[in-house]
């Protein structure tokens, strides 16, 4: 699984299992498997017994595009601005959700707490 955040021309950040599509040796498209957007639900701080503060954020994953039952979406190469590596907490959350390559991803994912 190649979990990446694809940043599109539209400004959307799409978390997905990213695949490349070729015609002969030419890259012609990207395939976003189980694409999701990441919603930040809020930030908060936790203090441990020693008084140290740790910043946290609550996030949830939402299917992209909204209301689609497709688990793979193709996009032309000129619609991708860049590809970046997600932070480890987001990547782990995504991998746990799709570890069995579930095709029924139309339900909103539960909230998760991620450290900054």
User: pLDDT digits over 13-32, tens only?
Assistant: 999 999 999 999 999 999 99
48-103 pLDDT, tens digit per residue, is: 778 777 777 888 999 999 999 999 999 999 999 999 999 999 999 999 998 865 44
| Rounded distance between C-alpha atoms, residue 94 and residue 98, angstroms | 6
Both tokens of residue 33? Answer: 């498997």
Cα–Cα–Cα angle for 15, 32, 35, rounded to 5 degrees = 40
CA-to-CA distance for 69 and 23, rounded, in angstroms? 26
Q: Which CATH number fits domain 3-101: 2.60.120.620, 3.90.120.10, 3.40.50.300, 2.30.30.100?
A: 2.30.30.100
């Amino acid at each position: 699984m190649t979990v990446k955040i694809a940043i599109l021309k539209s400004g959307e950040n799409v978390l997905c299992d990213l695949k490349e599509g070729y015609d002969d040796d030419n890259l012609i498209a990207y395939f976003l498997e189980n694409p999701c957007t990441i919603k930040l639900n809020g930030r908060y701080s936790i203090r441990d017994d020693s008084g140290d503060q740790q910043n946290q954020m609550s996030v949830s994953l939402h299917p992209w595009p909204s209301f689609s039952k497709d688990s793979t979406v193709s996009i032309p190469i000129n619609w991708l601005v860049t590809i970046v590596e997600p932070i480890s907490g987001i990547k782990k959350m995504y991998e746990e959700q799709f570890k069995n390559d579930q095709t029924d991803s139309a339900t909103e994912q539960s909230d998760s707490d991620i450290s900054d």
